[in-house]
Amino acid sequence: MSCLPECAKKCKEQFVACPNTDCRMWIDYEEENNCCLVSIEEKGKDGSDKGLTLHECAERLDINYLKVRQIEINALRKLSNKKETQDLLEDLKDEF
């Protein structure tokens, strides 16, 4: 079962990179159809549910590993704030 949106499924089936640069899931990584969801799905094919490593994220986003680590630390700090976490969960519920 795939959690990919229709646009990502079409690009993957046709072996083309996603042209929609306005999509919030778009990344400049043609090996995985310019879609971060495709990257995550491809990573999980080996049965691993660990997700992407920080180095893999940095490669796909074309930024330094240390910047990804900094983003991770800031995200974890924000998630530790209970109010922000509840707001984030509400936003995610609205999207799905």
CA distances from 80 to 52, 67, 73, 83 (A): 22, 20, 11, 9
Identify any residues that bridge with 35 across adjacent strands, giving them in sequence order. 26
Owning domain of residue 33: 1-63
Q: What is the DSSP letter of 47?
A: S
* Residue 57 shares a structural domain with residue 71: no
CB 39 within 8 A of CB 27: yes
* Residue 43 shares a structural domain with residue 2: yes
* Residue 40 shares a structural domain with residue 80: no
* Residue 93 shares a structural domain with residue 46: no
pLDDT digits (tens, 9 = 90+) for 3-50: 666 777 777 788 778 777 777 777 777 777 777 766 666 665 555 666
Query: Of 36, 14, 76, nearest to 44 (Cα)?
Result: 36
* Residue 49 shares a structural domain with residue 25: yes
Query: Of 39, 78, 81, 45, nearest to 59 (Cα)?
Result: 39
* Residue 44 shares a structural domain with residue 68: no
Structurally, how many domains does the chain consist of? 2
* Residue 7 shares a structural domain with residue 54: yes
Indicate the pTM of the whole model: 0.51
* Residue 45 shares a structural domain with residue 25: yes
* Residue 9 shares a structural domain with residue 31: yes
pLDDT in the model for residue 47: 57
